[in-house]
Amino acid sequence: MNQNSSHPSSMAILISGRGSNMCVLADKIASGELPANISFVGADREKAQGLEAARIRGLATRVFSYEELGRERAENNLIQALLESGSTWVVLAGFMKILSARFVAEFGGRIVNIHPSLLPAFPGVDAIGQALKYGVKVTGVTVHLVDRKVDHGPILAQQAVSITDGMDQESLEQNIHAVEHDLYWRTLKNLFEGRYVEYGRRRQLHE
Ligand code: GRF
């Protein structure tokens, strides 16, 4: 799985929403900072706002409508598209569908996710709201490989974000997203360039 810059890693990016992380990844590839290419941007619904941003950037887009097709058929189509595209990596960027055991078995070790908390704290939906409601003083961002449990798997990178007194959800979201937009592409670059070493559960960077 070691990659080198003469053979850029090919990644499919999966989104459900606005796709701001996907846009940063696309822009970092365009600027030459992230040695990779995007096979396609996939969404679970046509209404995902990020699809338009992907099209504007000239990226191939695919929709796998879970609502119209049902989960099994939609995911089968997604697996087929990933296999046909020869994608090395499946990069989740706000993809709101749970991946089946079959999906994880097919692409095991090659699926990456970003989550807006310091996992294992606050998995699942609205991690930012959960952290605020709980009253923690520090939350953050996690980039991890995906295993069969939700928001779970070997952690590649984490960065803390402080919650100051009186902070509202909007400003915490802004701070979290700013960290995500810097952390995701840097982590993927390290991953694609083969800089992570496996020590049991742990993934450590070596320079
Ligand atoms: C991010 O906060 C990410 O951590 C979570 O979903 C959100 C996606 O945001 N998994 P965007 O669609 O990339 O703007």
The predicted structure's pLDDT at residue 57: 98
Instruction: Please say whether the dihedral angle defined by the alpha carbons of residues 92, 43, 1 and 34, taken in this order, is positive or negative.
Output: negative
Nearest residue (CA) to ligand 1, atom 5: 94
Indicate whether residue 93 lines ligand 1 (CB < 6 A). Answer: yes
Pocket test for ligand 1, best of 112, 114, 169 (most atoms within 8 A of CB): 114
Per DSSP, the three-state class of 70 is coil
Res. 5: pLDDT tops 80? no
**pLDDT digits over 109-167, tens only?**
999 999 999 999 999 999 999 999 999 999 999 999 999 999 999 999 999 999 999 99
Indicate whether residue 140 lines ligand 1 (CB < 6 A). Answer: no
Indicate whether residue 186 lines ligand 1 (CB < 6 A). Answer: no
CA 127/CA 90 separation, integer angstroms: 22
Contacts 24+ apart (CB under 8 A), 78-83: 78/14, 78/42, 78/103, 79/103, 79/106, 81/12, 81/40, 81/42, 82/12, 82/39, 82/106, 82/107
The predicted structure's pLDDT at residue 67: 96
**pLDDT digits over 51-65, tens only?**
999 999 999 999 999
Residue 7 appears among annotated catalytic residues: no
The predicted structure's pLDDT at residue 61: 98
**pLDDT digits over 74-84, tens only?**
999 999 999 99
pTM of the model: 0.95
The predicted structure's pLDDT at residue 7: 61
**pLDDT digits over 159-207, tens only?**
999 999 999 999 999 999 999 999 999 999 999 999 999 998 899 998 7
Res. 101: pLDDT tops 70? yes
> Of 115, 144, 177, 181, which residue is the catalytic one?
115
**pLDDT digits over 37-53, tens only?**
999 999 999 999 999 99
Torsion angles phi and psi, residue 166, rounded to 5: 80, 0
CA 108 – ligand 1 centroid, Å: 22
Indicate whether residue 129 lines ligand 1 (CB < 6 A). Answer: no
Indicate whether residue 35 lines ligand 1 (CB < 6 A). Answer: no
